[in-house]
Amino acid sequence: MKRWLYATLFIFLIVILSSCGKKAPLEDLTLALILGIDLDDKNNLVFYEINPVFSKEAKKGTESYEVKAKTIRDSRRLFDALTTGEVTAGKIQVLLVGKRVLQHEDWFPILDTVYRNPTFSMSTRVVTVDGPVSKVVVHNPEEKPQLSLHLKALIDKNYDRTRAVKGTLQELHREIYEKGMTPFISEVKKEKNIELAGISLLDNKGKYAQFLNVPESTLLLMLQNKKRHEITLTIPVLPNKDEKNIFHKNVISFAVNKVKTRIKPGYKQNKFQFNISITLTINIVERLFPEEKLNNDQLTAAIEKVLKKQIEDLIKKIQKKKIDPIGLGLYARAYQYTHYKKVENKWGEALAESDVNVSVKIDINSNGAVIQK
Amino acid sequence: MLFFRNYRNKQRQQSSFKMQNNDLTEKVISPLLLENLAEIQKIFSETTDLIVKNFVIKQTKCPAALVYLSGLTDTKTVNNHVLRPLLFEANKEEQDFEVQVSLGLVKENSTWQEIENAILQGNSVLFIDQRHIAFIFDTQGWPQRGIEDTNIESSLRGEHLGFTETGSNNIAMIRRHIPNRELKMKEMTVGARGNLKLTILYLADVANPDVLKELVDRINKLEVDGILNAASLTEYIEDNPYSPFPQLFLTERPDFAAGEILQGRIVTVVDRSPNVLIGPATFEIFFKSMDDYGARWIVASFIRLMRYFGFFIAIFLPATYIAVIAFHFEIVPLKLLLSIGASRERVPFPPFIEAIIMEITLEMLREAGIRLPAKIGQTVGIVGGIVIGQAAVQAGIVSNIMVIVVALTAIASFIIPNYDMGAAIRLLRFPMMIAAAIFGFVGLAVGLMTLIAHVIALESLGTPYGSPFAPLRFPDWKDLFIRFPEWSIVKRPESTRAIQRKRANSNRPKGDEH
């Protein structure tokens, strides 16, 4: 009898086993690969969705839909009315957010379902669209892979080259709720093609604050110690004497081998003080002026000077908008907690008032495979 | 189950286990030749292959009769070494010695049971008038094939002799590897009608006496009419008959059997079967092959690892495919997902049905190929290749990815060197597929846990089957996933429960010492 008892118990346990409730084979699903959020001219929320079409009869590999809905979850109802299969969020690669949405201070809560609902993928890249999202969504050139793959690859490749951020939903969530820093996400725009514009800096509530172009983005990521595989900078080191200067004979390009940013926070005269020292080891990869003009030491000094200036400009830009994408607040909190705690809730303003000193140190590792005289 | 057990007991009470019509246990032969011959005729009535040769022994002028079964005896031996000396040779110096035959083995016996057995085993029996005993001559010689290369367990570097259907030959082949006086044998007979001779071989100072006793006890308990081969004997004596896993190792390789005897295991040679039983078996010895010890240890280790990898692929790949497509598509990288989606788009069946169709087709092809003559077997391969490979995909019945999954599964299950284990693995993937189809990864996890629990609980001749995984015995891992160099393995595995653990001294080569 014991055997039967065990068998019955086992079957009973299997039946009550909580499993993944619904079951739908892959081909019966409509996999949303891109979700877009935008505002139309009358400030109505518009949602876009792109999904692949597996059917061989369909000429295009993807289809895109546009609906006006109250919320993201509400939009699924409308998408379901349009698509062949059940719309599923598990594979959303890119979440496009229109700049018009970001310009409102209280936009972030509309993403609530994305975080609350576990079927959403947390590695979805959040990207700002400069201009209407619809233009990006309908863009479907024949010579490119489908948009979702292309956009994701575009972001990831530039992330590897230290020009953009991944800005996944998870990172965005942390940055929004972290008081010591403000969020930043990559930004694309549609000109003739879809191109990476740079980084959008948001304030602590998520409102659009400042745009950084690609070279500035690289500097920002350097300050955050977020160097990935490669950084290449091209900067002018000589004054522009030639009027025409068609061939930009005053610039030098170098690849950054190593970059180390040290931030030392202090508190003097009722304001914060940050000493930022950046050490770079570089390889010169391109030099369009003759070597006699600058010897090695002069060149080092020139590069240091230009870089310092650029970084200082960037920090001023940031301070002006009372935001902190570098995360200096995290350092302040770690080293000057008592002072930080007082201004915690208006950190942006405190940072705007603080002194930031930048020092850049360059070490030229190699001049390339050309004999240096 | 309980009901059946009661029923069986009742049956046993009604009629005790008996096969013979007249009981011969107590009966002795009579001094009169004619009476004996009459008894022979009675025992072997309607036996046309029985030969009774009446003659007079030249030496003593005594009437005598030679009785044997034609076909089971070697006619040349009977003629040249038994009949010729008895009929024609007379040695005047030795008057007393009446039976002069040029044979090595001559037994004397007087009980009818022994005599009957001897005749049935292919011996010839000589009855002499006025004698209380009969002479049994070892003249066995039945139709048999020569020793050939192994069929199922072929190997590159191992020996190319396989066991045959003659037990004594098989014992000889093992003894050739271990010419040691400690190699002991126990002879047993099983089956009231079959009279199957089993010989248990073991190293007396190495093998564990408890394990040996367990095996002997189990064989002694058997009450059947006949057992036809070694594989069916395992079903009678293995520990858990409901398990899919084989718990005794069947091999047709003398070198493998000898190797396991040296490890402290016990080998049962089953007469009339080209396989021998090795016990106690552990899960891991089913993943060993003789070639592991014929290749360099790095190569052998790589192949071992592939086998264990193949084990998991064969059980879990189709199930994982079903679970992923039906439940958890999120875990697949997007590009792969798009190509899976494109290839599944035309398939009208849910993934479980699709997988079952393909797996069943594959199993049928495999089974069809086994018993077909080699010339027709090729056709099966071609048909299978076309059906599975192309037509099914083009017709939209299955997807390309499914074909790849099935092919991978098949290859993975065929690299398991032992046939029984390979078959068990092929069977196990079906319950896994069902679990995956109903519960997704949760079902797979439950399936895996059940499998692990089962392997841990299994025993072979009272010895843990899961060793050295469970119970964990790290010293035994030297010959598990990685086969360490032979000179570094100095101890016998603990799983054999050998009473003498050390098998070698460290023989590490030192290179040129001069």
* Confidence at B251, pLDDT banded by 50, 70, 90: very high
Phi, psi of A86 (to 5 degrees): -70, 130
Query: Does A91 contact B441 at a Cβ distance shorter than 8 Å?
Result: no
Six token digits for residue B348: 């009208």
Cβ under 8 Å to B: A residues 20-79? 20, 23-27, 29, 31, 33, 52, 54-56
Tally of domains in chain B: 3
The answer to the question of residue B480 being in a domain is no
Total length of chain A: 373
Are B259 and B173 within one domain? yes
Are B450 and B330 within one domain? yes
Question: CA torsion B367→B368→B370→B372, rounded to 10°?
Answer: 160
pLDDT of residue A164: 87
pLDDT of residue B321: 93
pLDDT of residue A30: 86
Are B344 and B460 within one domain? yes
User: How far is residue B132 from each of residues B31, B55, B67, B112, B218, measured CA to CA in Å?
Assistant: 5, 18, 16, 11, 37
Instruction: Tell me the domains of chain A and their CATH numbers.
Output: 25-225 (no CATH), 230-373 (3.30.300.210)
Six token digits for residue A271: 């304001």
The answer to the question of residue B144 being in a domain is no
The answer to the question of residue B267 being in a domain is yes
**What is the layout of strands, in order, in the sheet containing B124-128?**
B50-56, B63-69, B124-128, B134-137, B106-109
Are B110 and B250 within one domain? no
Tell whether the model's pLDDT for residue B286 goes beyond 80.
yes
Phi, psi of B444 (to 5 degrees): -60, -45
B40 close to B134: Cβ distance less than 8 angstroms: no
Interface test with A, best of B339, B345, B394, B399 (most A CBs within 10 A): B345
The answer to the question of residue B63 being in a domain is yes
Instruction: Among A294-298, B17-21, B178-182, name the one with the lowest average pLDDT.
Output: B17-21
Are B276 and B327 within one domain? no
Model confidence over B187-239: pLDDT tens digits? 999 988 888 999 999 999 999 999 999 999 999 999 999 899 899 999 999 99
Q: Which of B225, B257, B281 is the last residue of a domain?
A: B281
Query: Does A90 contact B340 at a Cβ distance shorter than 8 Å?
Result: no
**Which residues of chain A have a pLDDT value below 50?**
none
Query: Does B329 contact A26 at a Cβ distance shorter than 8 Å?
Result: yes
**Cβ partners under 8 Å of residue B136, min gap 6:** B106, B107, B108, B109, B114, B115, B118, B123, B124, B125, B126
pLDDT of residue B92: 64
The answer to the question of residue B375 being in a domain is yes
Distance CA A92, CA A75 (A): 15
Are B118 and B35 within one domain? yes
Give how far A49 is from chain B: nearest CA, Å.
Answer: 16
Asked if the C-beta of B431 comes within 8 angstroms of chain A's C-beta atoms, the answer is: no
Considering only CB atoms, which chain A residues are within 8 Å of B442?
17-20
The answer to the question of residue B327 being in a domain is yes
pLDDT of residue B96: 53
Name the percent of chain B lying above pLDDT 90: 41
B337 close to A91: Cβ distance less than 8 angstroms: yes
Helix (H) / strand (E) element for B439: namely helix B419-439
Are B189 and B338 within one domain? no
* Confidence at B105, pLDDT banded by 50, 70, 90: confident
| Residue given tokens 């310009």 in the structure block | A103
* Confidence at B266, pLDDT banded by 50, 70, 90: very high
Q: What's the average model confidence in pLDDT over B470-476?
A: 89
Considering only CB atoms, which chain B residues are within 8 Å of A18?
442
Are B384 and B306 within one domain? yes
Q: Is A314 helix (H, G, I), strand (E, B) or coil?
A: helix
Q: Which of B246, B281, B316 is the last residue of a domain?
A: B281
- Planar angle of CA B378, B379, B384, nearest 5 degrees: 100
Distance CA A19, CA B440 (A): 7
pLDDT of residue B243: 92
* Pairwise pLDDT comparison (B112 vs B101), residue with the higher score: B112
The answer to the question of residue B143 being in a domain is no
DSSP calls for B281-294: --GGGGG--GGGGT
Q: Which of B464, B486, B509 is the last residue of a domain?
A: B464
Name the residue among A20, A26, A55 with its Cβ closest to that of B442: A20
pLDDT of residue B507: 78
pLDDT of residue B162: 92
Are B368 and B341 within one domain? yes
The answer to the question of residue B442 being in a domain is yes
Tell whether the model's pLDDT for residue B511 goes beyond 70.
yes
Are B258 and B332 within one domain? no
For residue A86, the cross-strand partners are A29
Asked if the C-beta of B396 comes within 8 angstroms of chain A's C-beta atoms, the answer is: no
Q: Residue-wise over B5-32: b if at least 16 C-beta within 10 A, else e? A: eeeeeeeeeeeeeeeeeeebeebebbee
Asked if the C-beta of B302 comes within 8 angstroms of chain A's C-beta atoms, the answer is: no
Domain extent at residue B87: 23-137
B347 close to B401: Cβ distance less than 8 angstroms: no
Nearest Cα residue in chain B from A89: B330
Q: Write down the ipTM of this complex.
A: 0.78
**What is the layout of strands, in order, in the sheet containing B249-251?**
B183-190, B196-203, B266-270, B276-279, B249-251
Distance CA A189, CA A96 (A): 11
pLDDT of residue B273: 92
Are B265 and B328 within one domain? no
First to last CA, chain B: 72
Query: Does B329 contact A93 at a Cβ distance shorter than 8 Å?
Result: no
pLDDT of residue B6: 57
Chain-centroid distance, C-alpha B239: 16
pLDDT of residue A20: 53
Model confidence over B405-450: pLDDT tens digits? 998 999 999 999 999 999 999 999 999 999 998 888 988 998 999 9
Are B337 and B433 within one domain? yes
